[in-house]
């Protein structure tokens, strides 16, 4: 028995093409969040950095968002009421089951992308989308069950992400309490600075630090190994390969669009879960990598150290990130970037080694939980993506 059917998009869903307001109405903080194409929709959403005080087309919370040009086919849900620009369309299921429609679009999106075209970039218009055939299960009940199975997996992934954010915030709070506010436990178990621990003014840092602490640069506490031009190490068709970690992968993880690199690359640019990465060009970011083994592309540092534990150099680089962003913004022409000279010129306070080890014992298990939870998310996503086509085309039946 054939368990799937073809339904025209226009018969199953409504389309809400975006329209951009004039740039004079753009703002950094006032008005509605504004999404326009892949500039904010793919890599950064839901990190909103543009708002508009005059709205054109609105997508409500829970509405499906789809990029319709450069590239076509990125999908997401509106996390709140937003203004959508020309590169995005809002989509709603006529039966109200947006969850099912979201997964149905994910399953069918490759066929829609094939119909996209353009002289300078690919795009699809309203007529193409409305005339598009959606392959889906025949019955309403099956559609509801498919949506339930797949959305439960996504909900677990989202929950893990929220837990990871809280764990990261907890670890940073502990670190700042010890090594920024200097209220680490003294020999009597009391907060050092608040209990009258001796502080001395440091001319380089322009602030007081605990007596006996040293001063160094980030370059003195860690090794910053730059990635390589991975296009020079393309694998042949019969060779096993790593996927390439570029700035996009740092934000989104590996995707079908990730490039491949030969496994003959130097060991120093092979990245494993738990490694610290610092993108130093264009999009400045510091993160614990949890996307699986990969090859590091240029414009990203792999940060390691033989003298200090991961918790110390990770949070010190993270603390310096806002300053680096300011430096990059002031000096950029086409893109801002951080150089080794900036790392060398940085100045941080160095606690005694026994304190560094003590806080490492407290914080490193938290970071390991984040890595483990992120690895679970990868497995859940693989399961979801494996089930998606079989549930949609009827290879697997649901009761």
Give the contacts of 338 (CB within 8 A, at least 6 positions apart): 280, 281, 284, 324, 327, 328
pLDDT at 257: 83
294-296, strands of its sheet edge to edge:
260-262, 241-245, 294-296, 270-271
What would the mean pLDDT of 303-311 be, rounded to a whole number? 97
- Average per-residue pLDDT for the chain: 90
pLDDT at 66: 93
pLDDT over 90 percentage in the chain? 70
Local structure of 276: helix, strand or coil: strand
Q: Tell me the two tokens of residue 247.
A: 């700035």
Q: In this predicted structure, what is the pLDDT of residue 228?
A: 96
pLDDT score for 224: 97
Q: State pLDDT tens for residues 3-28.
A: 788 999 999 999 999 998 888 888 88
pTM (predicted TM-score):
0.85
Asked if 164 and 374 count as a contact pair (C-beta separation under 8 A), the reply is yes
Rounded Cα distance between 107 and 92, Å, is 16
pLDDT at position 119 over 50: no
Band of pLDDT at residue 210, cut at 50, 70 and 90: very high
**For residue 55, what pLDDT is reported?**
83
Higher pLDDT, 38 or 214: 214
> Dmax of the chain from CA atoms?
81
Is pLDDT at 284 greater than 60 in this prediction?
yes
Is 59 in contact with 48 (CB distance < 8 Å)? Answer: no
Residue 70 pLDDT greater than 90, yes or no: no
Instruction: Tell me how far CA of residue 19 lies from CA of 124, 125, 157, in angstroms.
Output: 15, 13, 32
Q: Where do the DSSP E strands lie in 305-360?
A: 348-350
The residues, ordered by sequence, that sit 6+ positions from 157 with a Cβ below 8 Å of its Cβ are: 377, 380, 381
334: pLDDT confidence band, cut at 50, 70 and 90? very low
- Asked if 41 contacts 49 with a C-beta cutoff of 8 angstroms, the reply is no
Separation CA 297–CA 244 (nearest Å):
6
DSSP labels, 227-268: -B-GGGGPPPTTS-EEEEE-HHHHHH---TT--EEETTS-GG
Domains of the chain: 4-138 (3.90.220.20), 214-350 (3.90.220.20)
């Amino acid at each position: 028995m054939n368990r799937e059917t073809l339904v025209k998009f226009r018969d199953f869903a409504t389309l809400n093409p975006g329209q951009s307001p004039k740039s004079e109405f753009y703002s950094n903080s006032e008005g509605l969040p504004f999404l326009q194409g892949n500039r904010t929709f793919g890599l950064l959403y839901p990190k909103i950095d543009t708002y508009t005080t005059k709205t054109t087309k609105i997508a409500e919370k829970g509405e499906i968002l789809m990029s319709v040009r450069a590239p076509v086919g990125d999908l997401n849900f509106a996390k709140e009421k937003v203004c959508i620009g020309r590169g995005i369309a809002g989509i709603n299921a006529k039966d109200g089951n947006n969850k099912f429609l979201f997964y149905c679009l994910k399953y069918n999106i490759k066929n829609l992308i094939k119909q996209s075209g353009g002289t300078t970039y690919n795009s699809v218009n309203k007529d193409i989308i409305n005339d598009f055939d959606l392959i889906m299960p025949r019955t309403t009940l099956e559609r509801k069950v498919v949506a339930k199975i797949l959305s439960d997996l996504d909900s677990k992934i989202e929950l893990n992400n929220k837990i990871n954010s809280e764990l990261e915030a907890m670890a940073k709070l502990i670190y700042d309490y010890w090594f920024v506010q200097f209220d680490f436990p003294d020999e009597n178990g009391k907060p050092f600075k608040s209990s009258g621990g001796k502080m001395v003014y440091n001319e380089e840092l322009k602030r007081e630090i605990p007596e006996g602490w040293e001063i160094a640069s980030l370059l003195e506490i860690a090794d910053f190994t730059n990635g390589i031009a991975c296009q020079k190490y393309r694998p042949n068709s019969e060779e096993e390969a790593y996927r390439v970690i570029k700035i996009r992968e740092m934000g989104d993880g590996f995707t079908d669009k990730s490039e491949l690199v030969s496994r003959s690359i130097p060991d120093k640019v092979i990245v494993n879960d738990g490694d610290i990465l610092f993108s130093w060009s264009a999009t400045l970011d510091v993160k614990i990598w949890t996307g699986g083994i990969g090859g590091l592309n240029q414009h990203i540092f792999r940060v390691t150290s033989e003298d200090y534990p991961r918790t110390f150099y990770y949070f010190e680089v993270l603390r310096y990130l806002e300053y680096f962003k300011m430096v990059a913004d002031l000096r950029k022409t086409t893109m801002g970037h951080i150089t080794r000279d900036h790392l060398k010129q940085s100045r941080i306070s160095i606690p005694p080694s026994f304190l560094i080890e003590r806080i490492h014992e407290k914080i490193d298990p938290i970071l390991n939980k984040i890595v483990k939870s992120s690895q679970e998310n990868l497995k859940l996503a693989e399961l979801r993506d494996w089930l998606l086509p079989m549930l949609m085309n009827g290879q697997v039946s649901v009761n």
